[in-house]
Structure 1
Amino acid sequence: MTSSWEQKTFKLKTRTKGCYLVTDEIVANLPELKHYKVGTLNLFMQHTSAALSLNENWDSDVRLDMNDSLDRIVVEHEDYRHSAEGPDDMTGHIKSSLVGASLTIPITNGRLNTGTWQGIWYMEFRRFNHNRSIVATINGLKE
């Protein structure tokens, strides 16, 4: 086995405001994963009004409830000083800071080693379609 690092950038499918399960989309963009016996995958969202989360992968109601809950915690209004791209601009930045821009997930035998009910979420906080890029960094031992 040899130690290795790989890094690539890819775009997620364009989506509007909401929480989306994207585990399969992430894995499809990273065929390199299958060559790692043990390691880690770091995913970094290159944007300030979207986020990544590791959360429920089975019941889509959880994603709807999360979206609704974040809207109650960070209320959209026009009193924010920063509104260069509209009234949902600053709320997107706040939500992104609360949730986070990166995830680190273990790799075991060529697969992401997540829990039974865990999946990777892309959380879009802006109302209109946006193109979002992910930087994926893989490090570990290759077979």
Structure 2
Amino acid sequence: MIIQKEISLKPKSRGFHLITSEIYNHLPELKEIKTGIAHIFIKHTSASLTINENADPTVRSDMETYFNKLVPENATYFEHTLEGKDDMTSHIKNTIIGSSLIIPITNGKFNLGTWQGIYLCEHRNYGGTRKIIITILGER
């Protein structure tokens, strides 16, 4: 069985946001999959996806702090700043973190660890709606 869906995530503020529940809400057919994999791809170059801790919110704020220090917006060597200081830095963060995930599916759920969740990493100050393609390959 193959399922493919494009979903739109509501605009989020800059930062690292848990979106696991939001994705589940768009995938009622996931419950039908006994064994499989999900490929989740974001159709943007200034936001990214990752898996990390889903319990303590300070992980998300620490991630934002770290990446802002790693790729500082006040650096004067970036040329690609047409859309603002967060323009090129967002592209770099996307390249470092990544634009897709592969997650195993077991008995109708993502087979994530106890403390794992799916993050939308919004790197722009005003990123807007984000589109994600989810492709599921699995057996009922």
Shorter-chain TM-score range? over 0.9
SS of match in other structure, 1:80 = coil
State the Cα deviation string for residues 97-138 of structure 1 (Å, max 9, x = none): 000000011000001100000000000000114110000000
Q: Percent identity?
A: 47
Give the ranges of 4+ consecutive aligned residues of structure 1 lying more than 4 Å apart after TM superposition.
none
Query: Root-mean-square deviation (CA), in Å?
Result: 0.8
Specify the alignment match of 1:54 in structure 2. Answer: 51
Kindly indicate whether residue 7 of structure 2 is the aligned counterpart of residue 18 of structure 1.
no
- Partners in 2 of 1:141 and 1:53 — Cα distance? 25
In structure 1, the gaps of 5 or more residues are: none
Aligned to 1:5: 2
By how many angstroms is 1:13 displaced?
Answer: 1.5
Q: How far 1:48 sits from its partner (Å)?
A: 0.2
Deviation at 1:50, TM superposition (A): 0.3
Aligned to 1:111: 109
Tell me the equivalent position of 1:80.
Answer: 78
User: Number of matched residues?
Assistant: 139
How high is the TM-score relative to the length of structure 1? 0.95
Distance 1:98 1:130 in 2: 21
Q: Separation in 1 of the partners of 2:29 and 2:44?
A: 24
Tell me the TM-score normalised to structure 2 length: 0.97
SS in 1 for 2:126: coil
Deviates more, 1:97-106 or 1:70-79: 70-79
Secondary structure of 1:130's counterpart equals: coil
Q: Deviations over 1:53-81 (max 9, x none)?
A: 10000000000000000001001024311
Q: Which residue of 1 aligns with 2:88?
A: 90
32, 35, 41: which one pairs with 1:35? 32
Tell me the residue number matched to 1:138. 136
CA distance in 1 between partners of 2:88 and 2:35 (Å): 39
